[in-house]
């Protein structure tokens, strides 16, 4: 193949010069933004002297000022002249041959350092085929990380512990202890341990750099890895950042990972069986890694958009199942368990640098690298991003949230860096109340009481709920419409169950029952409605809630006098809830009247006018509810105890009770 490329180099260059990319993106998708917690980049290195000397043209071309890279192959058809086959790949950030490692550091890796310093997990993976520039990139980034950590620019004191290990197949070695073999184990608390690896506490930049260089030298001369090939193993540099003033706080972690190279096609012919087995293991571990990176990113996006909780538990009934993150399937991902395990509740930021060799001779491997990079991208639905508003916690990033905590936590002050080391406003709102309160204790000096922590939690939530009620309309026209609506309609904005009529407050709620009204009722006497269990059933003072859908009389079944369904109402399961010959079924079991169903209004049976209602069910966050529109029941107006106001919260995508 190499000779074919060399023989047709001139034709190839002409075809590439004449290449016109398709005007529209070849892979259209829904409106999305890059995921800020997960940046996938590619770095295309320059052609090396020996590649140019051999006469190979470049096969990888960055498309203008875009994040799109074109890869052109030359193919020999059965008849006729060789043809160009072109492929394009899109990443979040693209670096060409002129880009420096310093630039990549500033853009991508530097933000991970304060993040990990404050207790987050930051991970950088470099990936690519042999001789694509991974080692050059990672060693440069490690040097720059050491400088940022040690130059005193970060606030506070930390203990900095360094370990560097190598994974070759299933076996792990300590590169800071003369390549001593170590074990990757999960302890009884589910924490991955690099058993036998030495962690070096480093106090200055020189020592840090010496350790990095020692590990790199050991890799280069590895006896178990044949030929020159550091690229047959994964190297993991882990920096653990402990906060001595807050021993209860979780350590920050920074991982810099130089992944084994995917196999260059032209190497394969020379491989013996051991090398082929190695290649299979590398490819398999990279495949598991891809699934884990994607799975974790999907879990985070879904948690941020309210599809399910960050820990993957307690998902709403309508939610999709949490993505599966198979971190136990390879030694590499097992070692990085807490990077991938969403149930740990740790916030992660990840950066991938796909290193690409531009030489036409390696164009097949370059395509694999770029395809892999593309597959790692998990964009965030665009609708979810919101511009910063000072009074709206759902729009705050970590810095804005911290500023609010600092200004509002009273005396003694709660340390924002410990209450919200990495979280954004929506993420802190999603933190279980118990965790929030526990963090308040570790975050302040001794006088914080549970009540104070609780009150601070309530303060944030109150602001959040108020801000949702007073949400800013998107445009001036909307603003005018909303202002008019507010004047006329009692603050009604379409996001809460408040009655649009400003005079409603003076009228007893039973006299103004309407679709969308939420009411409290007593589930004590009722166990089941149309086959669905009701939370709180069985008494004990627990209230049930339901949203009115319509008067029962709105459902009279088909009008045809011959229809067997005439005059009946059926629930979603097809069960008759009123009328017909079947009498009262489960859904009508509300109340104690036992009257055979008819769908008239008030019947003098002690129940009052009857309404078809949807159950309001507790959801995963404290105080949150979902409306189960298909879990229907019939309530008489006299069985409704009071009106309850509920409002929709965009950030968590649940309903909350309000006053």
Q: To the nearest whole angstrom, how small is the minimum distance from the Cβ of residue 492 to ligand ATP?
A: 60
Cβ pair 69, 370 in contact under 8 A: yes
Using DSSP's 3-state secondary structure scheme, residue 83 falls into strand
Q: Which residues bind ligand ATP (CB under 6 A)?
A: 45-46, 48, 128, 130-136, 230-231, 261, 355
Tell me how far apart the alpha carbons of residues 650 and 654 are, in angstroms, rounded to a whole number: 7
CB 271 within 8 A of CB 279: yes
Please report how close the Cβ of residue 280 comes to ligand ATP at its closest, in angstroms: 17
Query: Among residues 163 and 222, whose Cβ is nearest to ligand ATP?
Result: 222
Nearer to ligand ATP, 93 or 439 (CB): 93
Buried b (16+ CB within 10 A) or exposed e, 579-601: bbeeebbbbbbbbebebebebee
DSSP β-bridge partners for residue 648: 655
CB nearer ligand ATP, residue 136 or residue 556: 136
Closer residue to ligand ATP, CB minimum distance, 129 or 468: 129
Q: Under a CB-based contact definition with an 8 Å cutoff, are residues 72 and 66 in contact?
A: no
Nearest alpha-carbon partner for 47 in 357, 297, 324:
357
CA–CA distance, 306 with 653 (Å, rounded to integer): 6
- Position closest to ligand ATP via CB: 231
Shortest distance (Å) from residue 357 CB to ligand ATP: 8
Q: Smallest distance from the beta carbon of 219 to ligand ATP, in angstroms? A: 9
**CB-nearer residue toward ligand ATP: 133 or 425:** 133
Nearest distance from C-beta of residue 283 to ligand ATP, angstroms: 14
Q: Please, which residue, 48 or 628, has the CB nearer to ligand ATP?
A: 48
Min separation Cβ 463 and ligand ATP, Å: 48
CA distance 99 to 632: 61
Which CB, 231 or 652, lies closer to ligand ATP?
A: 231
Annotated binding site: 128-135
Half-sphere exposure of 476 (CA within 13 A, CB side): 0
Please state the closest distance from residue 130 (CB atom) to ligand ATP, in A.
4
CB of 652 to ligand ATP, least distance (A): 44
Q: Rounded to the nearest whole angstrom, what is the least distance from the CB of residue 281 to ligand ATP in the complex?
A: 16
Cβ closest to ligand ATP, residue 135 vs residue 424: 135
Q: Is 116 helix (H, G, I), strand (E, B) or coil?
A: helix
Report residue 485 as tokens: 């609506």
CB of 60 to ligand ATP, least distance (A): 13
From CA 375, how far away is CA 262, in angstroms rounded? 15
Note if the bond before 412 is cis, omega within 30 degrees: yes
Q: Which helix (H) or strand (E) holds 295?
A: helix 273-304
CB nearer ligand ATP, residue 138 or residue 548? 138
Q: Tell me how far, at minimum, the Cβ of 126 lies from ligand ATP, in Å.
A: 8
Rounded to whole angstroms, the Cα distance separating 6 from 4 reads: 5
- Distance separating alpha carbons of residues 553 and 601, to the nearest angstrom: 7
The helix/strand/coil state of 318 is coil
Q: Which is nearer to ligand ATP, 124 or 405 (CB)?
A: 124
Distance CA 120, CA 113 (A): 9
Half-sphere exposure of residue 342: CA atoms within 13 angstroms, side-chain side: 24
Annotated binding residues for ATP, written as ranges, equal: 128-135
**What are the contacts of 574-580 at 24+ separation with CB within 8 A?**
575/530, 575/531, 577/530, 577/612, 577/632, 577/634, 578/552, 578/610, 578/634
Q: What DSSP letter does each residue of 413-471 carry, written as one string?
A: PB-HHHHSSS--HHHHHHS-HHHHHHHHHHHB-TT--HHHHHHHHHHHHHHHHHHHHTP
Between CA 29 and CA 355 the distance in angstroms is 25
DSSP string across 322-371: PPP--GGGSHHHHHTHHHH-GGG---EEEEEEEEE--BGGGHHHHHHHHH
Nearer to ligand ATP, 45 or 240 (CB): 45
């Amino acid at each position: 193949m190499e000779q074919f490329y060399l023989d047709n180099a001139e034709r190839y260059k002409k075809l590439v010069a004449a290449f016109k990319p398709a005007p529209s993106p070849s892979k259209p998708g829904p409106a999305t933004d890059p995921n800020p917690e997960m940046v996938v980049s590619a770095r295309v290195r320059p052609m090396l002297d020996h590649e140019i000397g051999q006469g190979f043209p470049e096969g990888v071309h960055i498309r203008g000022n875009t994040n799109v890279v074109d890869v052109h192959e030359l193919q020999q058809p059965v008849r006729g002249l060789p043809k160009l086959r072109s492929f394009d790949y899109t990443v979040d950030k693209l670096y060409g041959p002129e880009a420096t490692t310093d630039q990549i550091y500033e853009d991508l890796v530097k933000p991970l350092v304060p993040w990990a310093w404050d207790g987050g997990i930051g991970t950088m993976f470099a990936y690519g085929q042999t001789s694509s520039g991974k080692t050059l990139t990672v060693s440069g980034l490690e040097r720059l990380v050491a400088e940022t950590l040690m130059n005193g620019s970060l606030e506070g004191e930390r203990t900095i512990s360094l370990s560097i290990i190598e994974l070759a197949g299933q076996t792990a070695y300590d590169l800071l202890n003369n390549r001593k073999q170590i074990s990757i184990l999960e302890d009884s608390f589910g924490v991955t341990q690099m058993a036998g690896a030495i962690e070096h506490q480093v106090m200055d930049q020189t020592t840090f750099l010496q350790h990095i260089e020692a590990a790199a030298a050991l890799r280069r001369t590895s006896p178990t890895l044949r030929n020159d090939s550091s690229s047959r193993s994964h190297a993991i540099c882990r920096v653990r950042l402990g906060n001595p003033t807050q021993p209860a706080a979780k350590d920050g972690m920074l991982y810099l990972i130089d992944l084994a190279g995917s196999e260059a096609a032209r190497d394969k012919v020379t491989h013996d069986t051991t090398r082929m087995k190695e290649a299979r293991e590398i490819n398999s571990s990279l495949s598991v890694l891809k699934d884990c990176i994607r799975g974790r990113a999907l879990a985070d996006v879904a948690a941020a958009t309210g599809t399910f909780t960050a820990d993957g538990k307690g998902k709403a009934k309508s939610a999709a199942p949490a993505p599966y993150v198979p971190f136990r399937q390879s030694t590499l991902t097992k070692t990085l368990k807490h990077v991938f395990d969403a149930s740990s509740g740790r916030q992660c930021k990840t950066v991938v640098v796909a290193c690409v060799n531009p030489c036409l001779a390696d164009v097949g491997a370059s395509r694999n690298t770029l395809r892999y990079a593309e597959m790692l991208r998990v964009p965030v639905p665009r609708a979810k991003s919101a511009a910063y508003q000072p009074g709206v916690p759902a729009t705050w990033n970590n810095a804005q949230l911290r500023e609010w905590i600092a200004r509002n936590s009273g005396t003694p002050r709660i340390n924002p860096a410990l209450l919200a080391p990495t979280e954004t406003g929506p993420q802190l709102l999603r933190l279980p109340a118990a965790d929030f309160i526990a963090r308040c204790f570790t975050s302040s000096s001794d006088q914080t009481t549970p009540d104070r922590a609780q009150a601070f939690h309530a303060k944030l939530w109150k602001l959040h709920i108020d801000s949702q009620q007073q949400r800013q309309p998107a445009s001036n026209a909307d603003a005018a419409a909303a202002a008019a609506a507010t004047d006329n309609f009692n603050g009604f904005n379409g996001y809460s169950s408040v009655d649009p009529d400003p005079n409603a407050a003076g009228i007893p709620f039973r006299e103004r029952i309407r679709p969308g009204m939420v009411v409290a009722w007593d589930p004590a006497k009722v166990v089941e409605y149309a086959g669905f269990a009701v939370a709180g059933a069985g008494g004990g003072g627990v209230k049930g809630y339901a949203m009115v859908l319509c008067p029962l009389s709105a459902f009279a079944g088909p009008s045809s006098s011959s229809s067997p369904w005439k005059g009946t109402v059926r629930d979603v399961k097809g069960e008759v809830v009123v009328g017909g010959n079947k009498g009262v079924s489960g859904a009508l079991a509300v109340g104690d009247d036992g009257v055979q169903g008819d769908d008239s209004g008030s019947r003098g049976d002690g129940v009052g006018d009857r309404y078809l209602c949807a159950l309001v069910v507790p959801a995963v966050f404290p105080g949150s509810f979902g409306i189960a529109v298909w879990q229907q029941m019939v309530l008489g107006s006299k069985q409704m105890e009071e009106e309850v106001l509920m409002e929709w919260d965009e950030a968590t995508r649940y309903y909350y009770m309000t006053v």
